[in-house]
Structure 1
Amino acid sequence: MTDFLTMPGYLIRRAHQAATARFAEEMSQAGLALTPFQYAALSAIAAAPGLDQARVAQMADCDRATMGGVLDRLVDRGLVARTVSERDRRARVLHLTESGAALLAQARPVAEAVQDTLTEGLSTADRAMLTDLLTRIAGRRA
Protein backbone atom coordinates (compact mmCIF):
# COMPACT_ATOMS: atom_id res chain seq x y z
CA MET A 1 0.00 0.00 0.00
CA THR A 2 1.30 3.44 -0.93
CA ASP A 3 1.98 5.80 1.94
CA PHE A 4 -0.48 8.69 1.50
CA LEU A 5 2.24 11.18 2.46
CA THR A 6 4.01 10.47 -0.82
CA MET A 7 0.92 10.43 -3.04
CA PRO A 8 0.98 13.20 -5.67
CA GLY A 9 -2.55 14.35 -4.85
CA TYR A 10 -1.68 14.76 -1.17
CA LEU A 11 1.54 16.61 -2.00
CA ILE A 12 -0.24 18.89 -4.48
CA ARG A 13 -2.85 19.74 -1.82
CA ARG A 14 -0.09 20.50 0.72
CA ALA A 15 1.77 22.62 -1.83
CA HIS A 16 -1.45 24.52 -2.56
CA GLN A 17 -1.98 25.13 1.15
CA ALA A 18 1.59 26.41 1.50
CA ALA A 19 1.26 28.66 -1.54
CA THR A 20 -2.08 30.10 -0.40
CA ALA A 21 -0.82 30.73 3.13
CA ARG A 22 2.35 32.38 1.85
CA PHE A 23 0.37 34.56 -0.56
CA ALA A 24 -1.95 35.71 2.24
CA GLU A 25 0.98 36.38 4.59
CA GLU A 26 2.98 38.39 2.05
CA MET A 27 -0.04 40.42 0.89
CA SER A 28 -0.91 41.18 4.51
CA GLN A 29 2.65 42.25 5.28
CA ALA A 30 2.52 44.56 2.26
CA GLY A 31 -0.74 46.04 3.59
CA LEU A 32 -2.76 44.67 0.67
CA ALA A 33 -6.14 43.00 1.14
CA LEU A 34 -6.17 40.61 -1.79
CA THR A 35 -6.85 36.88 -2.16
CA PRO A 36 -5.31 34.66 -4.83
CA PHE A 37 -8.66 34.52 -6.70
CA GLN A 38 -8.99 38.31 -6.55
CA TYR A 39 -5.43 38.68 -7.83
CA ALA A 40 -6.19 36.27 -10.68
CA ALA A 41 -9.37 38.16 -11.58
CA LEU A 42 -7.64 41.55 -11.56
CA SER A 43 -4.77 40.13 -13.63
CA ALA A 44 -7.14 38.60 -16.20
CA ILE A 45 -9.10 41.85 -16.55
CA ALA A 46 -5.88 43.87 -16.84
CA ALA A 47 -4.62 41.51 -19.56
CA ALA A 48 -7.83 41.80 -21.59
CA PRO A 49 -10.06 44.73 -20.57
CA GLY A 50 -13.67 44.24 -21.56
CA LEU A 51 -13.90 40.56 -20.68
CA ASP A 52 -17.17 39.20 -19.41
CA GLN A 53 -17.50 37.30 -16.13
CA ALA A 54 -17.56 33.89 -17.81
CA ARG A 55 -14.27 34.54 -19.62
CA VAL A 56 -12.59 35.83 -16.44
CA ALA A 57 -13.71 32.64 -14.65
CA GLN A 58 -12.35 30.55 -17.51
CA MET A 59 -8.98 32.33 -17.50
CA ALA A 60 -8.68 31.88 -13.72
CA ASP A 61 -9.85 28.24 -13.87
CA CYS A 62 -12.67 29.04 -11.48
CA ASP A 63 -16.34 28.18 -11.68
CA ARG A 64 -18.63 31.03 -12.75
CA ALA A 65 -20.55 31.20 -9.47
CA THR A 66 -17.40 31.52 -7.36
CA MET A 67 -15.95 34.09 -9.73
CA GLY A 68 -19.25 35.98 -9.60
CA GLY A 69 -18.80 36.40 -5.84
CA VAL A 70 -15.16 37.41 -6.27
CA LEU A 71 -16.11 40.02 -8.86
CA ASP A 72 -19.01 41.30 -6.73
CA ARG A 73 -16.53 41.99 -3.93
CA LEU A 74 -14.08 43.68 -6.31
CA VAL A 75 -16.88 45.86 -7.70
CA ASP A 76 -18.05 46.71 -4.16
CA ARG A 77 -14.48 47.77 -3.30
CA GLY A 78 -14.34 50.02 -6.36
CA LEU A 79 -11.56 47.99 -7.99
CA VAL A 80 -13.55 46.72 -10.98
CA ALA A 81 -16.27 48.40 -13.03
CA ARG A 82 -19.07 46.43 -14.72
CA THR A 83 -20.66 48.03 -17.74
CA VAL A 84 -23.12 46.92 -20.39
CA SER A 85 -21.41 45.52 -23.46
CA GLU A 86 -21.76 47.62 -26.58
CA ARG A 87 -21.89 44.42 -28.68
CA ASP A 88 -24.39 42.48 -26.56
CA ARG A 89 -26.68 44.53 -24.32
CA ARG A 90 -27.35 41.43 -22.19
CA ALA A 91 -23.69 41.02 -21.28
CA ARG A 92 -21.66 42.92 -18.70
CA VAL A 93 -18.02 43.63 -19.39
CA LEU A 94 -15.32 44.29 -16.83
CA HIS A 95 -12.61 46.91 -16.59
CA LEU A 96 -10.20 47.81 -13.82
CA THR A 97 -10.83 51.13 -12.17
CA GLU A 98 -7.88 53.40 -11.40
CA SER A 99 -7.91 51.98 -7.86
CA GLY A 100 -7.94 48.43 -9.22
CA ALA A 101 -5.02 49.11 -11.55
CA ALA A 102 -3.08 50.75 -8.71
CA LEU A 103 -3.72 47.81 -6.37
CA LEU A 104 -2.69 45.32 -9.03
CA ALA A 105 0.51 47.29 -9.67
CA GLN A 106 1.31 47.10 -5.95
CA ALA A 107 0.36 43.42 -5.67
CA ARG A 108 2.17 42.11 -8.75
CA PRO A 109 5.72 42.29 -7.31
CA VAL A 110 4.48 40.74 -4.06
CA ALA A 111 2.84 37.85 -5.94
CA GLU A 112 5.99 37.36 -8.01
CA ALA A 113 8.13 37.33 -4.86
CA VAL A 114 5.84 34.66 -3.40
CA GLN A 115 6.52 32.46 -6.44
CA ASP A 116 10.25 32.94 -5.97
CA THR A 117 9.99 32.09 -2.27
CA LEU A 118 7.97 28.95 -2.95
CA THR A 119 10.60 27.66 -5.35
CA GLU A 120 13.73 29.11 -3.74
CA GLY A 121 15.25 25.66 -3.11
CA LEU A 122 14.97 24.73 -6.78
CA SER A 123 17.42 25.32 -9.58
CA THR A 124 16.23 27.22 -12.63
CA ALA A 125 15.92 23.92 -14.49
CA ASP A 126 13.99 22.31 -11.61
CA ARG A 127 11.64 25.29 -11.43
CA ALA A 128 10.98 25.05 -15.18
CA MET A 129 10.37 21.30 -14.82
CA LEU A 130 8.00 21.85 -11.87
CA THR A 131 6.06 24.44 -13.84
CA ASP A 132 5.86 22.11 -16.84
CA LEU A 133 4.71 19.14 -14.74
CA LEU A 134 2.09 21.16 -12.85
CA THR A 135 0.86 22.63 -16.12
CA ARG A 136 0.42 19.13 -17.54
CA ILE A 137 -1.30 17.87 -14.38
CA ALA A 138 -3.64 20.86 -14.46
CA GLY A 139 -4.52 19.98 -18.05
CA ARG A 140 -3.11 23.01 -19.81
CA ARG A 141 -0.58 23.29 -22.55
CA ALA A 142 2.58 25.21 -21.72
Structure 2
Amino acid sequence: MSSQDSIYPSSLQSLPGHTIRRLHQIATGIFHQEVQESGLTPVQYSALQTVHDYPGIDQRTLARMIALDASTTAGVVDRLEARELLTRSASPDDRRVRLLCLTTEGEALLQQTLPAMWRVQELILAPLSVEQQKTFMQMLQLLVTENNDLSRAPMESATLGKIPRNTRN
Protein backbone atom coordinates (compact mmCIF):
# COMPACT_ATOMS: atom_id res chain seq x y z
CA MET A 1 0.00 0.00 0.00
CA SER A 2 1.52 3.34 -1.04
CA SER A 3 1.20 6.49 1.04
CA GLN A 4 -1.23 7.83 -1.58
CA ASP A 5 -3.60 4.93 -0.93
CA SER A 6 -4.18 6.15 2.61
CA ILE A 7 -4.53 9.82 1.60
CA TYR A 8 -6.77 9.32 -1.43
CA PRO A 9 -9.32 6.53 -1.16
CA SER A 10 -10.55 5.08 -4.44
CA SER A 11 -13.79 7.09 -4.43
CA LEU A 12 -13.96 9.77 -7.14
CA GLN A 13 -15.52 12.17 -4.64
CA SER A 14 -12.41 11.95 -2.47
CA LEU A 15 -10.07 13.18 -5.23
CA PRO A 16 -9.07 16.87 -4.93
CA GLY A 17 -9.21 17.51 -8.69
CA HIS A 18 -12.74 16.13 -8.99
CA THR A 19 -13.92 18.02 -5.90
CA ILE A 20 -12.41 21.30 -7.13
CA ARG A 21 -14.06 20.80 -10.54
CA ARG A 22 -17.36 20.11 -8.79
CA LEU A 23 -17.04 23.25 -6.64
CA HIS A 24 -16.28 25.23 -9.81
CA GLN A 25 -19.52 23.90 -11.36
CA ILE A 26 -21.45 24.92 -8.26
CA ALA A 27 -19.83 28.37 -8.12
CA THR A 28 -20.56 28.94 -11.82
CA GLY A 29 -24.18 27.89 -11.30
CA ILE A 30 -24.54 30.29 -8.37
CA PHE A 31 -22.94 33.06 -10.45
CA HIS A 32 -25.41 32.56 -13.32
CA GLN A 33 -28.35 32.38 -10.90
CA GLU A 34 -27.42 35.64 -9.16
CA VAL A 35 -25.95 37.64 -12.06
CA GLN A 36 -28.16 36.46 -14.93
CA GLU A 37 -29.76 39.89 -15.48
CA SER A 38 -26.37 41.31 -16.47
CA GLY A 39 -25.85 38.69 -19.18
CA LEU A 40 -22.22 38.34 -18.07
CA THR A 41 -20.25 35.14 -17.70
CA PRO A 42 -17.78 34.78 -14.81
CA VAL A 43 -14.86 35.35 -17.21
CA GLN A 44 -16.49 38.43 -18.73
CA TYR A 45 -17.07 39.81 -15.24
CA SER A 46 -13.38 39.21 -14.40
CA ALA A 47 -12.34 41.04 -17.56
CA LEU A 48 -14.64 44.01 -16.86
CA GLN A 49 -13.50 44.28 -13.24
CA THR A 50 -9.84 44.15 -14.26
CA VAL A 51 -10.28 46.78 -16.99
CA HIS A 52 -12.12 48.93 -14.44
CA ASP A 53 -9.23 48.54 -11.97
CA TYR A 54 -6.59 49.16 -14.67
CA PRO A 55 -8.01 51.52 -17.32
CA GLY A 56 -5.93 51.47 -20.49
CA ILE A 57 -4.63 47.96 -19.80
CA ASP A 58 -3.47 46.18 -22.92
CA GLN A 59 -5.20 43.01 -24.02
CA ARG A 60 -2.17 40.77 -23.50
CA THR A 61 -1.68 41.96 -19.92
CA LEU A 62 -5.39 41.47 -19.25
CA ALA A 63 -5.02 37.86 -20.39
CA ARG A 64 -2.14 37.29 -17.98
CA MET A 65 -3.92 38.98 -15.09
CA ILE A 66 -7.07 36.86 -15.40
CA ALA A 67 -5.12 33.71 -16.33
CA LEU A 68 -6.46 33.19 -19.85
CA ASP A 69 -4.70 32.48 -23.11
CA ALA A 70 -4.55 35.27 -25.69
CA SER A 71 -7.14 33.79 -28.08
CA THR A 72 -9.73 33.22 -25.34
CA THR A 73 -9.17 36.75 -24.08
CA ALA A 74 -9.64 38.12 -27.60
CA GLY A 75 -13.03 36.39 -27.80
CA VAL A 76 -14.07 37.73 -24.40
CA VAL A 77 -13.03 41.25 -25.40
CA ASP A 78 -14.82 40.90 -28.76
CA ARG A 79 -18.08 40.02 -26.99
CA LEU A 80 -17.75 42.83 -24.44
CA GLU A 81 -16.93 45.30 -27.20
CA ALA A 82 -19.93 44.11 -29.24
CA ARG A 83 -22.12 44.83 -26.20
CA GLU A 84 -20.50 48.29 -26.02
CA LEU A 85 -19.21 47.60 -22.49
CA LEU A 86 -15.60 48.39 -23.37
CA THR A 87 -13.56 50.00 -26.09
CA ARG A 88 -10.41 48.75 -27.72
CA SER A 89 -8.00 51.28 -29.22
CA ALA A 90 -4.51 51.17 -30.66
CA SER A 91 -1.70 52.24 -28.34
CA PRO A 92 -0.07 55.50 -29.42
CA ASP A 93 3.30 53.85 -28.69
CA ASP A 94 2.70 50.62 -30.61
CA ARG A 95 -0.24 50.31 -33.01
CA ARG A 96 -0.19 46.50 -32.63
CA VAL A 97 -1.07 46.83 -28.93
CA ARG A 98 -4.77 47.16 -28.11
CA LEU A 99 -5.67 49.25 -25.04
CA LEU A 100 -8.92 48.58 -23.20
CA CYS A 101 -11.22 50.97 -21.35
CA LEU A 102 -14.73 50.55 -20.01
CA THR A 103 -17.51 52.56 -21.58
CA THR A 104 -20.05 54.41 -19.47
CA GLU A 105 -22.36 51.42 -20.03
CA GLY A 106 -19.63 49.02 -18.90
CA GLU A 107 -19.00 51.02 -15.72
CA ALA A 108 -22.74 51.16 -14.99
CA LEU A 109 -23.21 47.43 -15.53
CA LEU A 110 -20.23 46.64 -13.32
CA GLN A 111 -21.63 48.81 -10.52
CA GLN A 112 -25.11 47.28 -10.90
CA THR A 113 -23.60 43.78 -10.74
CA LEU A 114 -21.51 44.32 -7.59
CA PRO A 115 -24.26 43.48 -5.04
CA ALA A 116 -24.99 40.24 -6.90
CA MET A 117 -21.28 39.40 -6.98
CA TRP A 118 -21.09 39.78 -3.21
CA ARG A 119 -24.14 37.49 -2.87
CA VAL A 120 -22.38 34.92 -5.07
CA GLN A 121 -19.34 34.91 -2.79
CA GLU A 122 -21.52 34.67 0.32
CA LEU A 123 -23.55 31.78 -1.10
CA ILE A 124 -20.45 29.83 -2.12
CA LEU A 125 -18.98 30.12 1.37
CA ALA A 126 -22.27 29.99 3.33
CA PRO A 127 -21.82 26.41 4.62
CA LEU A 128 -18.59 27.46 6.39
CA SER A 129 -18.16 29.44 9.60
CA VAL A 130 -16.35 32.78 9.33
CA GLU A 131 -13.17 31.16 10.63
CA GLN A 132 -13.51 28.25 8.18
CA GLN A 133 -14.06 30.74 5.34
CA LYS A 134 -10.78 32.49 6.19
CA THR A 135 -8.91 29.19 6.42
CA PHE A 136 -10.47 27.89 3.19
CA MET A 137 -9.50 31.05 1.29
CA GLN A 138 -5.94 30.94 2.66
CA MET A 139 -5.57 27.31 1.63
CA LEU A 140 -7.14 27.96 -1.77
CA GLN A 141 -4.79 30.91 -2.41
CA LEU A 142 -1.83 28.77 -1.36
CA LEU A 143 -2.77 25.99 -3.79
CA VAL A 144 -3.35 28.46 -6.64
CA THR A 145 -0.11 30.35 -5.96
CA GLU A 146 2.06 27.26 -5.57
CA ASN A 147 0.59 25.54 -8.63
CA ASN A 148 0.31 28.65 -10.84
CA ASP A 149 3.25 27.69 -13.05
CA LEU A 150 1.58 24.35 -13.84
CA SER A 151 -1.31 26.15 -15.54
CA ARG A 152 -1.55 26.41 -19.33
CA ALA A 153 -2.27 30.12 -18.76
CA PRO A 154 -0.45 31.15 -15.58
CA MET A 155 -1.60 34.29 -13.84
CA GLU A 156 1.09 36.94 -13.77
CA SER A 157 0.33 39.20 -10.86
CA ALA A 158 3.79 40.78 -11.20
CA THR A 159 2.27 42.80 -14.02
CA LEU A 160 0.12 44.63 -11.48
CA GLY A 161 2.92 46.99 -10.51
CA LYS A 162 3.38 48.15 -14.10
CA ILE A 163 -0.12 49.48 -14.54
CA PRO A 164 -1.62 52.40 -12.61
CA ARG A 165 -4.56 51.01 -10.66
CA ASN A 166 -7.88 52.83 -10.79
CA THR A 167 -8.44 54.21 -7.31
CA ARG A 168 -12.03 55.30 -8.00
CA ASN A 169 -14.24 52.73 -6.33
- TM class, shorter-length: over 0.9
Aligned counterpart, 2:15: 7
Give me the whole-angstrom Cα distance separating, in 2, the residues matched to 1:27 and 1:100: 15
* Gapped regions of structure 1 (runs ≥ 5): none
Q: Deviations over 1:4-25 (max 9, x none)?
A: 2111111100000000011011
Give the letter aligned to residue 29 of structure 2: A
Aligned counterpart, 1:81: 87
**Aligned pairs, how many?**
139
Aligned counterpart, 1:16: 24
Aligned counterpart, 1:42: 48
Partner secondary structure for residue 138 of structure 1: helix
Root mean square deviation of aligned Cα: 1.4
Shift of 1:66: 0.7
Moved more, 38-47 or 107-116: 107-116
Q: Does 1:108 align with 2:149?
A: no
Shift of 1:90: 2.0
Aligned counterpart, 2:145: 139
The normalised TM-score by structure 1 is 0.92
Shift of 1:86: 2.0
Give me the whole-angstrom Cα distance separating, in 2, the residues matched to 1:108 and 1:55: 23
Q: Does 1:27 align with 2:66?
A: no
Q: Deviations over 1:92-133 (max 9, x none)?
A: 100000000001001122111100011112122211111111
Give me the whole-angstrom Cα distance separating, in 2, the residues matched to 1:108 and 1:135: 22
The normalised TM-score by structure 2 is 0.78
Moved more, 1-10 or 71-80: 1-10
* Gapped regions of structure 2 (runs ≥ 5): 149-169
Q: Deviations over 1:51-100 (max 9, x none)?
A: 11111111111111111101000001100100111222221100000000
Give the letter aligned to residue 74 of structure 1: L
Give the letter aligned to residue 15 of structure 2: M
Give me the whole-angstrom Cα distance separating, in 1, the residues matched to 2:112 and 2:136: 27
Give me the whole-angstrom Cα distance separating, in 2, the residues matched to 1:68 and 1:75: 10
Give the alignment of 1:47-58 within 5 angstroms: 47-58=53-64
Give the letter aligned to residue 99 of structure 2: V
Percent sequence identity over aligned pairs: 38
